[in-house]
Amino acid sequence: MTRLHIDWTLCDGRGLCTELLEEMLAEDDWGFPLARDGSAEPAVPAPLENAAAHAVSRCPMLALRLVGRTS
Amino acid sequence: MTDALWYFARGSGVVALVLLTVVVVLGIGARSGRPAFGLPRFAVSLVHRNAALLAVVFLVGHVIGLLFDPYAQLRFFDVVVPFVGNYRPVWQGFGTLGLDLLAAIVITSLLRHRLGVRAWRAVHWLAYLCWPVALLHGLGNGADRGTWWLWATSLTCAAAVTAAIGWRLSATFDRFPARAERRVAPRLRPHLEEASR
C-alpha cells in the first residue's frame, strides 16, 4: 500500500498538492494540507497514484514523498 | 539553402528570448503561492517548467544552427567558453554565458529531488542573471539588432519581466503575509518591538 508522507519541516503551505489531490487533501486555514481521512500519512488509493506522483513532483518545497510502495 | 541555418538560428534565438520571458514571469507567479494569470497553482508551475524545456529546444536549435552555418563560423568551444569568440566577443560571450547558466538551472531543476531544496534554489536564483544576459546578447549580437521589431520584442519582454520583479518585491507578494509575524513566538514579540525601537 502506497502512503503519502508530508514532511512538515519542509511544507510551506503553497497548496499545489491540495489542487492535484483534492480527493485526499484539504487546505487548512493557513494553506497547509490536511488528509481528509484524518491520518498523518494517508493511504493513496490505486486510482489516485498517478495524481499523487504529480503532487510529489510539483511540490515546490519537496515536502512530499510516496512511501511503502511494494510493487 | 545555405542561408536556411542562418535564418533559423536568428529566428530561434528570438523565440527563445520570448519563451524565457514567459518562464521568468511564470516562475515569479509560481513563487507567489497563489493562482496567477488565470491558472491554478499547479498549472502555473507546469507551464513554467514546460515553457523552460521548450526554450531549451529552441536554444539547442539556435546553437546547432550557428555551429553548422558557414557564415557564423562558430567553433565548438564558443558554445561553452564565453568571451573568446571571433565576432563581437563580448556580445557573443553573453549568449554563451546565458547558455551555461541556463544549462545549470535546467539540470539542477531536473535533479532537484536528489539535490534538495537549498542547493536547487541557490542555483535557480541565477535565472535573474541569466535572463538579462540573454536579452543583452540578442540586442548586441544579433544580425537583426537595431531593427524596430527586435527592439519592440525586447522592450516588451523587458517590460514584462520588470513588472513581474516589481510584483515580487512588493509587500503584497506573499500569499500569507501574516506568516512572517507568526515566525516569532508570541512571548518574544514584546522584546522584538523593544529591540527595533
In angstroms, the Cα distances linking B152 to A19, A50, B135 are: 38, 43, 12
DSSP state of B86: S
- For residue A62, which residues of chain B lie inside 8 Å, CB to CB? 112-113, 116-117, 120
**ipTM reported for the complex, 2 dp:** 0.89
Q: Which tens digit of pLDDT belongs to each residue from B17-30?
A: 999 999 999 999 99
Cell, residue B35: 493562482
Cell, residue B186: 508570541
With CA atoms as reference, report the closest residue to A60 among A14, A28, A18, A26. A14
CA–CA gap between residue B136 and residue B18 (Å, rounded): 13
CA–CA gap between residue B6 and residue B11 (Å, rounded): 9
Put simply, the chain A residues between 27 and 46 with a CB less than 8 A from any chain B CB are 30-31
**Interval B41-66 mean pLDDT:** 95
A16 with B42: Cβ contact below 8 A:
yes
Q: Which CATH number fits domain A3-67: 3.30.420.40, 3.30.70.20, 3.90.226.10, 3.30.390.30?
A: 3.30.70.20
Q: Which of A19, A30, A54 has its CB closest to that of B41?
A: A19
Is A66 part of the contact surface with chain B (CB cutoff 8 Å)? Answer: no
A31 with B112: Cβ contact below 8 A:
no
Q: How far off is chain B from A40, nearest CA to CA, in Å?
A: 22
- For residue A58, which residues of chain B lie inside 8 Å, CB to CB? 42, 45-46
Q: In the structure, what pLDDT confidence band is assigned to residue B146 with cuts at 50, 70 and 90?
A: confident
Total count of residues recorded for chain B: 197
Are B16 and B51 within 8 A, CB to CB?
no
**Interval B104-114 mean pLDDT:** 95
Q: Which tens digit of pLDDT belongs to each residue from A21-32?
A: 999 999 988 889
**Interval B172-191 mean pLDDT:** 75
A12 with B33: Cβ contact below 8 A:
yes
